[in-house]
């Protein structure tokens, strides 16, 4: 067997998967392309020459390699110093390692070069771990581990060949089969050890040993509380996930509904400065205090008979800027964080910020919010914004004219003293909202206003087209102009509900702006003036087969995050905490097991509603479990039985003979194949004799069996060591026999009669 060819294949695969893992973690599309193209070309260049089977891979001249490595070093230094653009150090380091690996793929003259290349690949995999903890990176690294181990072992074999090591007993196919077993055992043992360390090791040990080098950078999204109108260009609709949220009622029932969008508010603005910028007039009154893990921060009284909704939010990205908003449904009454944080709240609008701390971001930040759907009069309302900047002018004239036409049809002029004409604020605000929805068009293209033109007036009287911030700004301005307190809200609208995980997935493209209108003391109503059809078109999740596959991927990623990424000290404590006398009872243990089965059934889509499990779903579930367990038991018994038969049949053999028979395992395998085809060798008949019988009746099987039996007897009774060419020939004859057996078992050789 050509050791160099197998090492070339393993090395190219290892480098490719390692580079892809880092490229996926860093989101570098160019590196992804290089990670596929470079190793593919190197594999073709490194294939052994049939005329010179022991020749190494094709290599670039040394001076070319040195020049390319120098350019890679210069580029890395420039990126980290002169051209530094805020890219994390680990990203620059991973890109540098990638470039050097692609160069070294064409500079493999000795096993030392192969060893250096493997070391660079391992460091690239470490850079991927430090860059991202996503499911895709985890899958690629899981595939990378056995590849790296295989490459290391093949490199050791090649090193022994290059050093002129003595002939080994294990040659040809037998050597590679045992090598595969050694790789499998090594990977399994390492995986079990890593799992044990992951579960038992204290959380947070060594977090700051490397400063910020090991900090896992989190994706940043484009939500901003800087609501500024009058810009030019197109809005970007990126599908980057921002957070997942589970919504439940007071009894813990999931109330997620794909047909109902949910508005998660972040920032509010109530004051307009005529330059197209909205600000919060009460921001200076924000109160900040520290909150530890599990601390419940009270925001507002729920009320005498509240209808509560609970939201569990898992952030997947950080908001650009120094602070992160806590997104919640209106009206939030309390928030509980699962990480230490400096929380800043504003009483007037119940907005919450969690300030960036000096601690490193590890895993995924999460928090739980309690919101009351009922109103209360305990909020300190900002009544001064009614009228405000829009008390006079064209916006006020338009709002009064629209209300007059809708409330008192045929009225000549609006009443300056009573613009609402006795209507309730809710009714008047609804009229203004419907006016905007039906008379203005939604677009993601932003138009630059004329010099000195107000952006809201441009939208209302000139372009009559705009995005959500224009619609929300126009409604807030029109409400304030007629004495109705209103504010603009920036946040996210959640429409993508995954029934398998029970969560809404909120993406960057779901960023939205709407209005909140004060309709009574402590009563603020969410109103969205953007056209509903356009909102549904833009924010509705995709349908079809691809969307279904994506839902399954989200389910797998959800379980990955639950089991691995967010495994912290509190979950570790619960896992290893011994049962006390009460919780350790058999009845409670059985109840936990039943709940676990129900939860698994809901995640797999076998349970709908509370516990309405169909008979077919139960049968399918337990049938699948029984099939998997039965298959494991069958394979284990078969494997153990074969090992026992091998040990009993070779127990009386000396050590040298057992070593010789390792290379002749093709013969027992051939006997097992013909036995499955109904052509088994009778007890007492030698292998060559049985092959002679089969030659007369089934020559396609008898011929290769005779060759294999003869080679086996040379080893077993002549104590002859098979050469590499003999092992190659035996492998070819075994493949020929197996092909003939498959044809016979499939009914294509029924014309052959069974042997006597």
Task: Indicate the burial class of 336 (C-beta count within 10 angstroms; 0-12, 13-18, 19 or more).
Answer: middle
Whether 425 is covered by a domain: the verdict is yes
Three-state SS at 242: strand
Task: Indicate the burial class of 430 (C-beta count within 10 angstroms; 0-12, 13-18, 19 or more).
Answer: middle
Q: What is the pLDDT of residues 130-176, one digit of tens each?
A: 877 777 888 888 889 888 888 888 887 776 655 544 434 344 555 66
Three-state SS at 487: strand
Q: How far is CA 417 from CA 400, 505, 688, in A?
A: 11, 48, 115
Residues in the chain: 756
Judge contact between 365 and 338, C-beta under 8 A: yes
Q: How many CB atoms lie within 10 A of CB 751?
A: 6
Is the domain of 249 the same as that of 322? yes
Whether 138 is covered by a domain: the verdict is yes
Tell me the pLDDT band of 489, cut-offs 50, 70 and 90.
very high
Judge contact between 711 and 703, C-beta under 8 A: no
β-strand pairing of 612-613 with 317-319: unpaired
Higher pLDDT, 573 or 105: 105
Whether 640 is covered by a domain: the verdict is no
Query: ∠311-313-314 over CA atoms, to 5°?
Result: 160
Structure tokens at 92: 């620059």
Is the domain of 346 the same as that of 476? no
Is the domain of 275 the same as that of 351? yes
Cα 674 to Cα 752: distance, rounded to the nearest angstrom: 14
Tell me the pLDDT band of 213, cut-offs 50, 70 and 90.
very low
The residue behind tokens 């921002």 is: 242
Higher pLDDT, 593 or 46: 46
- Of 320, 312, 327, 114, the C-alpha closest to 218 is 320
Is the domain of 15 the same as that of 132? yes
Q: What is the pLDDT of residues 595-617, one digit of tens each?
A: 666 666 655 554 444 444 444 55
Is the domain of 225 the same as that of 170? no
Is the domain of 673 the same as that of 726? yes
Whether this prediction's pTM lies above 0.85 is answered by: no
Cα 436 to Cα 513: distance, rounded to the nearest angstrom: 14
Mark which of 166, 200, 234 sits at the end of a domain.
200
Cα 400 to Cα 224: distance, rounded to the nearest angstrom: 32
Whether 284 is covered by a domain: the verdict is yes
Cα 657 to Cα 720: distance, rounded to the nearest angstrom: 10
Beta strands in 393-546 (DSSP E): 441-442, 445-446, 465-466, 486-494, 496-498, 503-507, 511-520, 523-527
Return the DSSP state at 38. H
Whether 73 is covered by a domain: the verdict is yes
Whether 626 is covered by a domain: the verdict is no
Cα 350 to Cα 394: distance, rounded to the nearest angstrom: 32
Residue 447 — left, alpha, or beta (φ > 0 → left; ψ -120 to 50 → alpha)?
Answer: beta
Q: How far is Cα of residue 430 from the mean position of the Cα atoms in its chain?
A: 42
Is the domain of 602 the same as that of 669? no
Q: How far is Cα of residue 628 from the mean position of the Cα atoms in its chain?
A: 26
Is the domain of 166 the same as that of 20? yes
Tell me the pLDDT band of 55, cut-offs 50, 70 and 90.
low
Is the domain of 21 the same as that of 94? yes
Is the domain of 237 the same as that of 318? yes
Cα 608 to Cα 86: distance, rounded to the nearest angstrom: 48
Q: Which domain holds residue 709?
A: 650-745
Whether 393 is covered by a domain: the verdict is yes
- Side-chain-facing half-sphere of 434: CA atoms under 13 Å: 9
Q: Kindly report the CATH number assigned to the domain that includes residue 390.
A: 3.10.620
Cβ neighbours of residue 714 under 8 Å, at least 6 residues apart?
Answer: 720, 722
Q: What integer is the mean pLDDT of 54-68? A: 79
Q: Is residue 332 over pLDDT 90?
A: yes
Q: Which has the minimum average pLDDT: 17-21, 258-262, 409-413, 450-454?
A: 409-413
Q: Is residue 254 over pLDDT 80?
A: yes
Angle between helix 724-745 and helix 699-716 axes, rounded to 10 deg:
150
> Chain-wide mean pLDDT for the chain?
77
Report the domain count for the chain.
5
The residue behind tokens 């919640």 is: 328
- Of 570, 560, 569, the C-alpha closest to 205 is 569
Is the domain of 408 the same as that of 357? no
Q: What integer is the mean pLDDT of 720-731? A: 88
Is the domain of 550 the same as that of 539? no
**pLDDT confidence of residue 745:** 72
Whether 519 is covered by a domain: the verdict is yes
Judge contact between 31 and 186, C-beta under 8 A: no
Q: What is the pLDDT of residues 639-679, one digit of tens each?
A: 666 555 555 555 456 667 877 888 888 898 899 888 877 88
Q: Which long-range contacts (CB under 8 A, 24 or more apart) does 580-583 make?
A: none
Task: Indicate the burial class of 480 (C-beta count within 10 angstroms; 0-12, 13-18, 19 or more).
Answer: buried
Q: What is the pLDDT of residues 13-41, one digit of tens each?
A: 999 999 999 988 887 888 889 888 989 99
Q: What is the pLDDT of residues 81-105, one digit of tens each?
A: 766 655 677 788 888 889 999 898 8
Cβ neighbours of residue 125 under 8 Å, at least 6 residues apart?
Answer: 18, 21, 22, 141, 144, 148
Mark which of 351, 372, 393 sits at the end of a domain.
372
């Amino acid at each position: 067997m050509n050791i160099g060819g197998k090492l070339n294949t393993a090395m190219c695969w290892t480098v490719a998967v390692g580079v892809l893992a880092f490229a996926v973690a860093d989101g570098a599309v160019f590196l992804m392309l290089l990670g596929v193209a470079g190793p593919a070309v190197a594999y073709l260049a490194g294939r052994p020459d049939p005329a010179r089977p022991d020749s190494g891979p094709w290599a670039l001249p040394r001076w070319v390699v040195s020049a390319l490595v120098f350019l890679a070093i210069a580029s890395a230094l420039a990126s980290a110093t002169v051209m530094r653009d805020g890219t994390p150090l680990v990203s620059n380091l991973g890109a540098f390692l990638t470039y050097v690996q692609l160069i070294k793929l064409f500079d493999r003259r000795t096993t030392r070069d192969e060893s250096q290349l493997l070391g660079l690949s391992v460091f690239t995999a470490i850079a991927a771990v430090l860059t991202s903890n996503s499911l895709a990176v985890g899958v690629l690294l899981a595939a990378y581990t056995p590849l790296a181990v295989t490459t290391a072992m093949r490199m050791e074999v090649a090193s022994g060949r290059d050093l002129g090591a003595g002939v080994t007993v294990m040659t040809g196919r037998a050597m590679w089969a045992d090598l595969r077993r050694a790789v499998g055992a090594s990977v399994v043992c390492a995986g079990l050890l890593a799992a044990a360390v992951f579960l038992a090791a204290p959380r947070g040990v060594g977090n700051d040993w490397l400063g910020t080098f090991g900090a896992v950078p989190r994706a940043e999204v484009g939500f901003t509380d800087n609501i500024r109108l009058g810009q030019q260009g197109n809005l970007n609709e990126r599908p980057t996930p921002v957070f997942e949220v589970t919504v439940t009622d007071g009894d813990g029932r999931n109330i997620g509904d794909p047909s109902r969008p949910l508005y998660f508010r972040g920032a509010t603005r109530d004051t307009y400065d005529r330059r197209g910028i909205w600000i919060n007039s009460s921001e200076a009154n924000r109160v900040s205090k520290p909150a530890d893990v599990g601390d419940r921060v009270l925001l507002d009284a729920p009320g005498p008979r509240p209808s509560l909704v609970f939201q569990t939010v898992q952030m997947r990205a950080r908001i650009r800027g120094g602070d992160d908003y806590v997104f919640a449904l209106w009206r939030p009454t309390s928030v509980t964080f699962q990480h230490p944080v400096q929380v800043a709240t504003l009483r007037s609008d119940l907005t919450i910020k969690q300030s960036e701390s000096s601690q490193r971001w590890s895993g995924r930040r999460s928090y739980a919010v309690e919101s009351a759907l009922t109103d209360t009069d305990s909020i300190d309302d900002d009544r001064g914004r009614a009228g405000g900047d829009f008390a006079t002018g064209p916006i006020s004239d338009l709002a009064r004219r629209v209300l007059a036409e809708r409330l008192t049809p045929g009225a000549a002029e609006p009443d300056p003293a009573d613009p609402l004409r006795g209507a309730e604020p809710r009714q008047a605000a609804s009229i203004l909202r419907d006016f905007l929805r039906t008379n203005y068009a939604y677009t993601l293209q932003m138009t630059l206003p004329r010099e000195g033109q107000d952006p809201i007036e441009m939208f209302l009287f000139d372009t009559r087209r705009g995005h959500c911030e224009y619609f929300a700004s126009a409604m807030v301005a029109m409400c304030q102009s007629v004495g109705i307190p209103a504010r603009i809200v920036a946040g996210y609208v959640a429409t993508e509900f995954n029934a398998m995980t029970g969560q809404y997935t909120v993406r960057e493209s779901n960023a939205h702006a709407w209005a909140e209108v004060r309709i009574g003391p402590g009563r603020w109503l969410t109103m969205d003036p953007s056209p509903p059809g356009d909102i549904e078109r833009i924010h509705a999740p995709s349908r079809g087969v691809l969307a279904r596959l994506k839902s399954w991927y989200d389910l797998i990623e959800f379980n990955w995050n639950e089991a691995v990424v967010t495994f912290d000290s509190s979950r570790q404590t619960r896992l290893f905490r011994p049962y006390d006398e009460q919780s350790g009872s058999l009845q409670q243990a059985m109840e936990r097991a039943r709940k676990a089965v129900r939860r698994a059934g809901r995640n797999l889509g076998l349970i709908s509603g509370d516990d309405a499990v169909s008979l077919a779903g139960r049968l399918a579930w337990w049938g699948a479990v029984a099939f998997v367990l039965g298959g494991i038991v069958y394979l284990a018994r078969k494997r153990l039985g074969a090992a026992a038969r091998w040990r009993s049949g070779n127990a009386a053999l000396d050590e040298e003979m057992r070593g010789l028979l390792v290379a002749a395992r093709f013969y027992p395998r051939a006997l097992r194949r013909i036995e499955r085809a109904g052509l088994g060798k009778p007890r007492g008949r030698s292998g060559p004799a049985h092959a002679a019988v089969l030659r007369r009746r089934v020559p396609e099987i008898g011929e290769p069996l005779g060759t294999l039996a003869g080679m086996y007897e040379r080893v077993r009774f002549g104590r002859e060591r098979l050469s590499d060419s003999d092992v190659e020939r035996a492998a070819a004859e075994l493949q020929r026999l197996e092909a003939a057996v498959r044809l016979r078992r499939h009914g294509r050789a029924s014309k052959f009669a069974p042997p006597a």
